[in-house]
Amino acid sequence: MLTDRAARPSTGLPSSIPPGFRSDTIPGAARCLLVGCHGRLTGVIQQAVDRCPCCGYRTGCTTCPVCFWTDDGRRDADAGMVAGGPNGDVSLSDARLNFAIYGASHRRYQDVVRQPRSDELP
């Protein structure tokens, strides 16, 4: 005898999500952008992703793949301060200038950065 759970094809989603659920039917919810999701994730609402303080792209990563700046909490008020840490001897102001010139927060990272995707544009 098959149970309800065994009768459903495996989707990799939690079992609390009813078959055929679509998040785009919820008022205020955006269409899910995950490939293959088809809007079945419960409560998926598109949220703003943090911008990188160096390049400004919306990667939402601690270490930005577009400029390779590691977000250490510095912002415009203390952009000229060199604090050491994950970004070494580069201030946020210098990293922004380096990004404009080299396409990376530091010249040495030119080979590890990538172009921003369309969904990461400011």
User: What span, in angstroms and rounded, lies between the C-alpha atoms of 85 and 24?
Assistant: 42
- Is the pLDDT at 111 greater than 50? The verdict is yes
**Whole-structure pTM over 0.75, yes or no?**
no
Summarised one tens digit per residue, pLDDT across range 91-104 is 999 999 999 999 99
Domain coordinates in residue numbering, the chain: 12-47, 49-122
Specify whether the CB–CB gap between 70 and 102 falls below 8 A.
no
Specify the range with the lowest mean pLDDT, choosing from 42-46, 100-104, 105-109: 42-46
